[in-house]
Amino acid sequence: MMQRLPYLASALVLSSLLSACGSQEAPASAPPPAEVGIITLKAQAIDLTTTLPGRVTAFQTAEVRPQVGGIVKRRVYAEGTEVKAGSVLYELDPATYQAAYASASASLAKANALAKQAKLIAKRYEGLVAIKAVSQQENDDAQASAAQTQADVALAKAALDKARIELNYTRITSPISGRSGKSSVTAGALLTANQVQALTTVVQLDPIYVDMTQSSSDFLALKRAIEQGGVSQRKRIPVTLTLSDGRSYEHIGSVAFSESTVDPSTNSITLRAQFPNPSGQLLPGLFVQAKVVQGQQQGVLAPQRALSRNPQGDATAMVLDQDNKVQPRVVKTSRAIGDKWQVVEGLQAGDRLVVDGLQKARPGSVVKPVPFTGDQLVEKTPAKSDEADTAAEKTAAPSAAKKAE
């Protein structure tokens, strides 16, 4: 019996050791840092744009009126069609003007004949006075008569030119190239020279103007910023349009000039932009919204999705330090530009801004930055967690098997 005691003690010790080994489990590995999408902020030139109301105005407008009186013989043009400068729009009955032109022409011929005769007499008297055949008085009268007939010729020529002009005015032409309007008269109508009522209107639509109004306070603030050097102004100020139906106009215009006076009734300044209008889509009187790029300044833009609000209502952003630790920042923005905010305080060029995975970017935590391209959300952390759980299960499996044994 005494001989069996050492063997039993050894068995008990070995059993205790095996039990202790079976009860120990492998420690689980720590989860990896959460991945977040980041962008590195850069300073860039930011266009200072403002949206202004505007009205489309014709590049040129000509109201066609008769310059001589008469009866309308026929209307030559078709209403609403494009006409060229100098093309005939109306024809008046030219009979009386043709007769006046013929009379003026005959008067000129008579004046030329008398002038020729007076010139010959004056030349003859010059020779006779030298030999005392005629008196000096008679020679002076002959010279004066020749000069008078030359003046009569000039007067007759002027009368002929006037008759020719009035005859040409019986063909009423367009002073500019453009689109014609409706006619206010028909054949047989009696017209008077320079009458109040226009026969029709011709407007030039390509190019075309857009008149915009800007408050004087905004105008002065921009000028002050330019003078202080914070804003640089372009030589050519581009303008884009949004039509009344919400569509964007395909062509880009530029500011032609700005008024040098302020409208006292609206306290605003008028800016005029010029646009190409080859298809005639813009018509005079059309209301549009104009976006004017009035200058540029260096600044930082942050995606709107990267900013949130704290309980105090301040805009906040999450940035990473050199150790990839999340730090909150209170930021101030000035205005929205597309899907971004222009940041004036709190962020600067070079900051690594968390854009995606903000729910995992807790202040003070260490994360793994991944460049954000905007194509999709970063959702790789759960996958990493699953891999860690699988590894823990594989580590725990042999322990469980040994314990079972």
Helix axes 381-404 and 4-23, enclosed angle (nearest 10): 170
378: pLDDT strictly greater than 50: no
Residue 186 banded pLDDT, cuts 50, 70, 90: very high
Residue 380 banded pLDDT, cuts 50, 70, 90: very low
- The structural domains of the chain, ordered by start, are 35-46+299-383 (2.40.420.20), 48-58+204-297 (2.40.30.170), 66-92+176-197 (2.40.50.100), 95-168 (1.10.287)
Q: Smallest Cα–Cα separation from 372: which of 34, 33, 35, 39?
A: 39
Paired with 217 in beta bridges are: none
Residue-wise pLDDT tens digits, 227-236: 666 566 667 8
Amino acid found at 200: T
Spatial distance between the Cα atoms of 215 and 195, rounded to a whole number of angstroms:
40
Indicate the range of 41-45, 207-211, 270-274, 282-286 predicted with least confidence.
Answer: 41-45
Paired with 369 in beta bridges are: 36
Q: Smallest Cα–Cα separation from 67: which of 160, 183, 204, 199?
A: 199
Residue-wise pLDDT tens digits, 135-154: 888 888 888 999 999 999 99
The conformation of residue 317, written as its DSSP 8-state character, comes to E
Tell me phi and psi for residue 103, to 5 degrees.
-65, -45
Average pLDDT along the chain = 82
110: pLDDT strictly greater than 90: yes
CA angle 95, 97, 101 (to 5 degrees): 120
Tokens representing 349 are 């060029």
Predicted TM-score (pTM) of the model is 0.65
For residues 159 and 126, the model is more confident at: 159
164: pLDDT strictly greater than 50: yes
Residue-wise pLDDT tens digits, 271-311: 899 999 998 899 999 999 999 887 777 888 889 888 888 88
337: pLDDT strictly greater than 60: yes
126: pLDDT strictly greater than 90: no
Q: Smallest Cα–Cα separation from 397: which of 25, 30, 23, 21?
A: 25
Residues of the chain with pLDDT > 70, as a percent, come to: 82
